[in-house]
A and B are shown apart, each in its own frame.
Chain A
């Protein structure tokens, strides 16, 4: 079990460490997939992009291609994901002559990313997806850590805003416990995020 991003990235370098690779895939695959989808690629094309990014990232990590001293992992991975998505978009443009016959992607994505302002938008999408994917992974982790009832109370009350009494009655716990559980889960999520969020710049 890898407890920080740094230790995970290190462990992934060992080709024999299957478990590390699986953890890596579980955490980072969703953001790459969603990013590609939001760049306007079809589901099938996004899966291909995901595969390619994973292969490239894995190989590069193994060969020491990522140097933490030179920047955040988040930006490094973005570089690969952006690049591959652009290649897929170009390939699609060659396939379908007219941009607007594309699969419901709204305005011309490719042209937009290729100009600097659009590129900013792509970076913003990546930033969001990075956060969502980490939150998703944190939720998975915390769900297993704190156990069913605590997590259920948290989701019902804190996420879905079900009134405390209803939650307490349904789960057969004291209303004050609902607050305690909520605090506990939030704390655990924060703690997990701190270990996997990137080391801040400078």
Chain B
């Protein structure tokens, strides 16, 4: 007989209670010994986990570089937050870049929450403001949902704050005020139409390539709340570090809640610390402080802070929403009025000449030609290949290097079609090789390096120079960790990588962004 589709499929949410209809012969065969019952219970847990672990389900929402999603061509993975992955993408029709925020499956579970979120997102999409990240649409394919938005080239305020802290220098006050004004203006546009952001924090304040701040992720926290509802306990909603007292208590949010969160962010910009920091604290302890402990005076940590600004921050951080600025427009005006007396900032973002972190590498490489980027990434990966001498890895690298040839495509529709197919194959083959190798290799980081080099090559071949640079930078970082794990000198690696970079730059001077003449093979011989 043909097996019918099972009416109670495996993994069905409510399996029938055991032994509702005692089967014939249950006495002799259906009764479980306690040991059997315990073993079965554990097996149940194992199978259930396999079906639900985020790592596995997550993979389904991973979009490979070069694939298509909702009409976009997917590029590199920019970052990953609690509930989504963000990819660079391109709209092939208009040739305009975009960012795709692809929601993780656990945030798509409840229809009710989704509807609530899309309603909100739909209204946000209608807000057009210089300081708000523009929403382009909500592409969907199968079960996977995404938010398409303006692609921002700069980093988030979180990055700037981390960098400032690492270098041990406080943020210039004029800069903090300028950015706070921009954030407040963006939020005010939402408040004006009765909407609340709910999750104002540094990682949601992004910069475009002109350095203008834009507010992102309106209403996204609603999805998080949805997940908490679903999973019941143990899952923290976002971060309480910037959360208003009323949000900590689970009460209704108002525009004044965003005023509080922006106040907490501004507090961090000028002092380098959060209003409530608890050594080794639980999120709960921080929430309690938001609710009941008076906010400290920021001048405790920043003596040169103008008094008006300290007062303004304290007002934002009032426990009682009624005592704060009622909405961000008023806050922006107050900041602007005070800023009249702040001397303009002297530009001092000194660019360090060294290639040290992934971000610097990325920016530097973006100045090179396509071919030079491929070349650089492959050389990074080659330096770690010596650790493994794995034939499959070798193949992944060879494919990557041969992509340099494809970068010569002349731009006719046929050659572009050929190139795109080639990229798909390249991506697939190098990933296969890398995954196959990852199962058996002593240094999976080396595999990652080769994989990233291949990804860089595929992006470069597609002329996505920014993406290629990002992948190449990632290849370098992975190479560093592979060498580190193998006990090799990382310093020597960077020195060599810097040398390569300089030679490639001399070579590609004047042909930025173009494919240009092939790199002479001896240029990079050691």
Bound pair: A and B?
A: yes
Interfacial chain B residues near A156, Cβ < 8 Å:
6, 10
Chain B residue with minimal CB distance to A100?
Answer: B283
**Contact of B141 with A by CB under 8 A:** no
**Contact of A104 with B by CB under 8 A:** yes
Q: Are B44 and A100 in contact (CB under 8 A)?
A: no
Q: CB-defined interface of B1-25 with A at 8 Å, one 1/0 digit per residue? A: 1011010101110011110110111
Q: Are B235 and A139 in contact (CB under 8 A)?
A: no
**Contact of B36 with A by CB under 8 A:** yes
Q: Are B16 and A163 in contact (CB under 8 A)?
A: yes
Of A95, A135, A160, A163, the residue contacting B46 (CB under 8 A) is A135
Q: How many angstroms from the CA of A52 to the CA of B25 in the assembled complex? A: 53
Q: Are B55 and A43 in contact (CB under 8 A)?
A: yes
Interfacial chain B residues near A161, Cβ < 8 Å:
15-18
Contacts A98-B286, A171-B3, A175-B25; A159 near B44 (Cβ below 8 A): yes
Interfacial chain A residues near B234, Cβ < 8 Å:
106
Q: Are B25 and A170 in contact (CB under 8 A)?
A: no
Q: How many angstroms from the CA of A26 to the CA of B439 in the assembled complex? A: 8
**Contact of B239 with A by CB under 8 A:** yes
Q: Are B165 and A97 in contact (CB under 8 A)?
A: yes
**Contact of B444 with A by CB under 8 A:** yes
Q: Which of A2-10, A71-79, A107-115 contacts B (4 or more CB under 8 A)?
A: A107-115
Q: Are B43 and A135 in contact (CB under 8 A)?
A: yes
**Size category of the binding interface on chain A:** 35 or more
Interfacial chain B residues near A58, Cβ < 8 Å:
442
**Contact of B109 with A by CB under 8 A:** no
* Number of interchain pairs (Cβ within 8 Å): 136
Of A21, A55, A164, A190, the residue contacting B39 (CB under 8 A) is A190
**Contact of B359 with A by CB under 8 A:** no
Interfacial chain A residues near B54, Cβ < 8 Å:
43
Q: Which of B204-258 contact A (CB under 8 A)?
A: 234-236, 239-241
**Contact of A123 with B by CB under 8 A:** no
Q: How many angstroms from the CA of A21 to the CA of B24 in the assembled complex? A: 47
Of B20, B235, B440, the residue contacting A22 (CB under 8 A) is B440
Chain A residue with minimal CB distance to B277?
Answer: A98
Q: CB-defined interface of B267-311 with A at 8 Å, one 1/0 digit per residue? A: 000000110011011111110000000000000000000000000
Chain B residues with a Cβ closer than 8 Å to the other chain, count: 62
Interfacial chain A residues near B357, Cβ < 8 Å:
none
**Contact of B492 with A by CB under 8 A:** no
Chain A residue with minimal CB distance to B282?
Answer: A107
**Contact of A199 with B by CB under 8 A:** no
Q: Are B39 and A186 in contact (CB under 8 A)?
A: yes
**Contact of A131 with B by CB under 8 A:** yes
Chain B residue with minimal CB distance to A180?
Answer: B29
Q: Are A158 and B440 in contact (CB under 8 A)?
A: no
**Contact of A18 with B by CB under 8 A:** yes
Q: Are B42 and A108 in contact (CB under 8 A)?
A: no
Interfacial chain A residues near B439, Cβ < 8 Å:
22, 25-26
Interfacial chain B residues near A190, Cβ < 8 Å:
39
CB distance from A175 to the nearest CB of B (A): 6
**Contact of B192 with A by CB under 8 A:** no
Chain A residue with minimal CB distance to B485?
Answer: A55
Q: Are B29 and A176 in contact (CB under 8 A)?
A: yes
Q: Are A170 and B12 in contact (CB under 8 A)?
A: no
**Contact of A83 with B by CB under 8 A:** no
Chain B residue with minimal CB distance to A33?
Answer: B55
Interface centre among A18, A22, A107, A111, by most B CB within 10 Å?
A107
**Contact of B92 with A by CB under 8 A:** no
**Contact of B61 with A by CB under 8 A:** no
Interfacial chain B residues near A111, Cβ < 8 Å:
280
Q: CB-defined interface of A1-37 with B at 8 Å, one 1/0 digit per residue? A: 0000000000000000010011001100000010000
Q: CB-defined interface of B46-81 with A at 8 Å, one 1/0 digit per residue? A: 110110001100100000000000000000000010
**Contact of A120 with B by CB under 8 A:** no
**Contact of B34 with A by CB under 8 A:** no
**Contact of A165 with B by CB under 8 A:** yes
Chain A residue with minimal CB distance to B287?
Answer: A100
**Contact of A172 with B by CB under 8 A:** yes
**Contact of B40 with A by CB under 8 A:** yes
Interface centre among A135, A165, A189, by most B CB within 10 Å?
A135
Chain A residue with minimal CB distance to B484?
Answer: A52
**Contact of B122 with A by CB under 8 A:** no
Q: Are B39 and A104 in contact (CB under 8 A)?
A: no
Q: CB-defined interface of A45-66 with B at 8 Å, one 1/0 digit per residue? A: 0001001101100110000000
Q: Are B282 and A100 in contact (CB under 8 A)?
A: yes
**25 A–B contacts, CB within 8 A, in A order:** A43-B55, A43-B80, A52-B485, A95-B162, A97-B165, A97-B273, A97-B274, A100-B239, A101-B239, A104-B236, A108-B281, A110-B280, A132-B46, A135-B42, A136-B50, A160-B15, A162-B6, A162-B15, A163-B21, A164-B23, A171-B3, A175-B24, A176-B29, A179-B25, A186-B40
Known: A51-B445, A131-B42. 7 other contacts (CB 8 A): A48-B481, A106-B236, A107-B282, A139-B47, A155-B47, A160-B12, A176-B25
Q: Which 10 A-B pairs have the closest CB atoms?
A: A179-B29, A107-B282, A164-B23, A100-B283, A111-B280, A104-B236, A108-B280, A101-B239, A135-B46, A51-B444
